[in-house]
Each structure stands twice: as structure tokens, then as C-alpha cells.
A and B are shown apart, each in its own frame.
Chain A
Amino acid sequence: MAIKGGPLFEVTASAYRNGVIDKGMALFGDAVDGVMKETGCEMDDLVNKMDEASEKTVMRMDALLAWSGPMIRIAASDRLMALTSRLLDVAILRRLGVAVLTRMLVKAVTA
């Protein structure tokens, strides 16, 4: 019988099994490159921005994570991850994903 880890681990494991992590890492890298190009920031600037996150922001994220248990369990579904993986094979969706992620990160960095 497969051993179950914690909910976040299960999401990660499912994403890995279905190829979402490999595809997602490349998209994430492109998005970070995009942020660096758009904002003129280097990696250390981005890390330092993250380091400067306010307590209010962090606590909001903590609350979000605390309340997202059911969503995390759904996200850990192999079917959903397999679908996500297939969607990430579509070039236009990949480009869209990078654009959205870049926009979100730029907003966070320049806030």
C-alpha cells in the first residue's frame, strides 16, 4: 500500500507523477526571467523582496493555506494533474501561463 504523506506533499507528488512539476519549473523559470527583464531586478533583488514581506501579507497567506485544505486535496488528484499536464503541452496555454505568472510576480515585486 502506498504511503500517504501530508496534503502538500501529496499535491507535489501528484504533480511530479503527472509531469506538471517538470513543465511547471520551465514556465516558472521563464516567468522569473520575464520579471527580471521587466523590473530590472536580479535574483538577489527578488529574494530580498521576498525577505521583506510584511507580517500582514505572510499571515494572510497562512490563513489562506489553513482554509484551503479541501482545495489541496482536490489538487492532489491524479486526474486533475494529468489534465493540467496535458494543458501545459499546448503552446498557447504555456505562453498564457508564463504571462499570467509574470504579471503576478511583477505586481508583487513592485507593490
Chain B
Amino acid sequence: MMSPEVELAITDEAYRELEEAVDPENVSREPAVLDSYAWQPFANDNPERWVIRPVAVAMPGSTEEVQALVKAIGRNGLKFKAFSTGWGAYSSPTSEGVVQVDLRRMDRIIDIDEKNMYAVLEPYVCGAQLQAEGMKVGLNTHIIGAGPSCSILASATSAFGVGWDCVYMSYSGRNLLGAEWVLPDGEVLRLGSLGSGKGWFCGDGPGPSLRGIVRGSTGALSGLGIFTKAAIKLYNWPGPPQIKTEGLLLDARSEVPENLRFCMCFWPDRKSQDEAIYKINESELCYIFSRTGLGATISIATPHLMKILTKTKAIRKAVTGDMKWGCTLIMVADSAGEMAYKEGVLAEIAKQYGGAVINLTEAKPIIRMFLMNFLRSTAVPVVFRMGGQMFTALDRNDTWDTQMDWAGMGEKVKQKWIDRGGILDDMADNPYMVSYEDNTWGHCEEIFQYDPRNPDHLAALEPIFVEFSLEAVERCMEPLSSTDARLRKIISPMMGHYTSWQQKISGFFDRDRAADTGMYCDEVDFDLQKVEPDIRDRFEKAIKKFSWTDDGPPE
């Protein structure tokens, strides 16, 4: 728990200034309240440690209040960390002396422009909320894999952005059509056409765009300020204005729209699968597309059964061998004729590549349960059922073939740690894969599940993280590094010393160092002592081989 010095980290005077900025009832430094923010076991490699407790929490209700708050925080030598809807440790302080700026009072959808297909919203608007409102006017929003309770604005401006609907609705950062941005000094910057008083229709320009600075690889996670409004591109929804649903998760019963098909496809081998997926994307068939191992589906729906199935031989071989190569997709259409065309194209692709399509839409009770779990990405929480915790190993978005290589590698690394008892056995093949924009590029995360009460699992987390990172580096891929200040320091020299550029950007926007930049540009050393010597050696060799010199990239 916190030391007395830390508990007194905010002075009465500084606290009074926070109260003046947002009204006393919207500020707290009560330990119990602060600990409710510090309890963030996900993406925290030591759940016993919690995350660093903020010195206070403040809840602004408007852009003006955010400005006043940020200025008060800067004046008092504190730092801020924004929290929209939160997702694990990513929204938490990374150092002492941080005020958690909880944006939950900023929860309005300000406008849905039906004609131009975008919405203007505040940080606490979640995916489910925007989707429900959008569907009423025939529109839909991209929802990230973390689920429908997550902030649309946060994933578009400041964090990750992948989800099952990426095939049709792209990646969060690419849907950003303008933003209102409170800089670390409290000034407001409006991006895109909004900055010229021309409304929200374009997120870039005039002149050079700042989108790259806002987003970088994954966003600055509040390290460059606080986004208070954003315009988000919306997409066509050909279904009904409301999908009537009762229940949740495995208990859900939804009315299935007429022109919707939910299909699982299987292919004889990897090559056929990959070629078929390229064809499916080229043909623009999908509204939802994912590739997840069959074992993964079993492990999240029936985690106890999975523990027994891992002891089997024939069933295991069937799941990880015979039925290994597959994908799941949802097709929607504006008319029965369009759906018939799409079904025909899918059948033709299945014929061409020797595949099998299981149309689950015909199995009514199954599709009623699955529909919103996929369409709204509601199923995600069940991945925590098996062990209580999970984490992921990803490289950066890349071509589908490359991502399949990553999935294969991930399976091998996972199997090694399953055999050692470092993580739970989910039959190893558990990639979370999507494709983007009906195109040839995609995303792959290798999910692994663990029990945070098991000391062996906790001890394995860091070595696994390092091993996955090494595998990415050796393949010239970018590992999951943006949020880890230690790994950023290691990989930066191999990626054009990008952290030095981020430090310059941070220095320009944040001269008084008011933002908590631990997940953006404050790098620290990585103690690799817990890592096996041969992995350490390989890492050192890779660093030597791939590091940039003053003359540019290595030969």
C-alpha cells in the first residue's frame, strides 16, 4: 500500500484549486475512492501490486473544466492521466503525484450526422451507446475488441483500435474525423476542418495533418493531453433500427435480422485458408470477420470442459489439426437479392479452395445467442473465465500472411510455456485475428490465459512477454511495446530511435511536464535478469543487428 509521504502528495492548496476547477463535489482524495481506480489487474503484470494510486481524482463536465483542471494540475507540479471508460492499467497513473481525470461526466453524443455518416461525441460515450443510437438511423460504429463498454473517443484518439468489425468499419484511429484536444498547458487545439470553423467532416489539415502525432502507433494514452470531443466516421447498417435482445453473453436471445448470415468456414490447410480469406476480402462480403482457433471458442464458452479436453488425444487432434484452419464471419445485406449474391460468392470461394461453410443462422437458438456477442463485441469478457486473467502478444498490423506466421510462432511459444506450467492450457492455438477494410492486411494477437493466484503463472509473465517481444524483433515486427516504458527503450534504436522523436513532440506540447507520459515517452531500463540466458543472448544479438546508426538503418 501507499507510504504516508505519497498519501500527502497533494497539498490542501492544490486540492482546493482542483475543487475550484470542477466543483468540490466532483473531486476526491478519499483513499477508498482512489483505490477504486488503482484496482486494475488487467495488463498489470503483478496483480498483487495494484497500480500506482492517484493523489486525487477529478471529474470535469466540460471542455472548459478540463482546461481549468489541467492548468491547476500544472501550476501545482502534479501530473494528469485521463480515464474515459478505462481498460486495465492502461488508463492508470505510471508515476506518483498524478491526478486521475475521470471523464465520465462527459458522456454525450452531441450529434449524429446521418447524411455525412459521422457522430460527434464526448469521451465517456461507449461503443454500445453509439451503436444503439446509430442503428436507429441506419448507421453503425466500429467497436474495439475490448468490448462495447469502452470509449469510442479514447480508442480513436489515444489507444488501440482493433475489433471484429474492422473488415467493414476499419481501425479506430482511421475513423477519427476531427478532435478537440486540451493540450497539457490547458490550451485547446481543434484538429481538421473543425480548426477552421468548418465543422467536423475531416480530421486532417488544412496543411500538414496532426493525426500522426496524435496517434503514432497506438496513441499517447493521455501523454499528450486530453481529448474532449471527437468526430467518428459511421458506417452503413442495413438491419432494423433496434435488435431486440434479452439477456447477456451466453444467456442472450436476440431477434436475428432477415438479411444477416453468421457463418463458420473451415479449410483443408493454411494455404487454402489464406487464399480463401484474401478472396473473401476482395469480394467485400463481410460485416464481421475473425479468425479464432476452435480451441479458443471452447475455452471461453466452456472453460471447465476445456480443462478436461486438454487431456484427450483424438479430440485434441481434431480441434488443433483437422479443424484448425477456419474463420468466422457475419454478412449483412440491404435486400434478399444482395444476400443471395453474397452467399453465392462465398459458396464459390468455398468450392474453389475446398472449404466448408457452416451457416449457423439456420440453427436459430445458437445464432440468437451469438449475434450480439459478435455484432457488439459483447463476448469479450468471457475470455477472463478460464483463469481469471489473460494477456496478449501482438505484432503490429501487417499483411495477412505475415500475421498467420505470427500466429504460428505464437502457438509454439505458448505451447512451450503451457508445457512448463507457466500459463493455462487452451490447446495453444488461440489467435485473435481480424482483417482490415476488405483488404490484404490484418491483425493477430496470441491470447494466453493465466491464473493470477498461481505463483508459477505470475513468475512466467515477464519471461513470456520478453520472449514474444524477441520473436517480433527477430522478424522485424513491432512488439506490443507502446505502453511498456522498458521495452520502448530496447526497441527504439531498432526503429529509427522513434522514442527520441516522441520525446521532442512531448517537449514541444508539454513544456511543464504536466502529462503522465509513462506510456508515451518516459523510457526506463529493462532488467532482463528474470529471462533465460539464451533469450537474453538472442535479444542482444538482435539489438546489435537491427539498431540504426547515425547514417540510418542497418544494412
A contact residues vs B (CB 8 Å cutoff): 2-9, 12-13, 15-17, 21-22, 25-26, 28-30, 32-33, 36, 42-44, 47-48, 50-53, 55, 58-59, 61-63, 65-66
- Check A62–B315 contact: CB distance below 8 A: yes
Render B252-277 as a binary contact track against A, CB cut-off 8 A, 1 for contact: 11000000000000111101100000
State how many angstroms separate the Cβ of B429 from the closest Cβ of chain A: 14
In the complex, A50→B309 CA distance in Å?
A: 12
Task: Say whether, besides A2-B354, A43-B253, A50-B302, A62 and B314 are in contact (CB < 8 Å).
Answer: yes
In the complex, A29→B268 CA distance in Å?
A: 26
- Find residues 365-424 in chain B having any chain A CB closer than 8 Å to their own CB: 365-366, 368-369
Task: Say whether, besides A29-B364, A53-B308, A9 and B266 are in contact (CB < 8 Å).
Answer: yes
In the complex, A5→B267 CA distance in Å?
A: 8
- Check B268–A43 contact: CB distance below 8 A: no
In this complex, which of A28, A62, A63 has the most chain B Cβ atoms within 10 angstroms of its Cβ?
A: A62
- Check A25–B363 contact: CB distance below 8 A: yes
Q: Tell me the interface secondary structure of chain A in the complex.
A: helix
In this complex, which of A22, A32, A43 has the most chain B Cβ atoms within 10 angstroms of its Cβ?
A: A43
Stretch in B209-217, B317-325, B492-500, B531-539 touching the partner: B317-325
Render B290-330 as a binary contact track against A, CB cut-off 8 A, 1 for contact: 00000000000111110011011111011001110100000
Closest to A50 in B: B302
Interface residues on B, range: 35 or more
In the complex, A66→B317 CA distance in Å?
A: 10
Task: Say whether, besides A3-B269, A43-B253, A26 and B301 are in contact (CB < 8 Å).
Answer: no
B358 near A: Cβ within 8 Å? Answer: yes
Closest to A8 in B: B322
In the complex, A83→B431 CA distance in Å?
A: 38
Task: Say whether, besides A8-B318, A55-B308, A66-B314, A16 and B362 are in contact (CB < 8 Å).
Answer: no
Given contacts A8-B323, A65-B318, 15 further A-B contacts (CB under 8 A): A3-B272, A5-B266, A8-B318, A13-B266, A13-B354, A13-B356, A16-B358, A25-B363, A26-B362, A32-B366, A51-B301, A55-B308, A61-B315, A62-B314, A65-B314
B440 near A: Cβ within 8 Å? Answer: no
State how many angstroms separate the Cβ of B508 from the closest Cβ of chain A: 53
Pick the residue among B315, B325, B368 that contacts A43 (CB under 8 A): B368
- Check A29–B363 contact: CB distance below 8 A: yes
Instruction: Give chain A residues whose Cβ lies under 8 Å from the Cβ of B315.
Output: 58, 61-62, 65
- Check B365–A16 contact: CB distance below 8 A: no
- Check A44–B321 contact: CB distance below 8 A: no
B250 near A: Cβ within 8 Å? Answer: yes
In the complex, A55→B308 CA distance in Å?
A: 6
Task: Say whether, besides A47-B301, A50-B305, A66-B314, A32 and B253 are in contact (CB < 8 Å).
Answer: no
- Check B359–A22 contact: CB distance below 8 A: yes
Instruction: Give chain A residues whose Cβ lies under 8 Å from the Cβ of B369.
Output: 43-44
- Check A51–B305 contact: CB distance below 8 A: yes
Task: Say whether, besides A5-B269, A9-B266, A58-B308, A44 and B314 are in contact (CB < 8 Å).
Answer: no
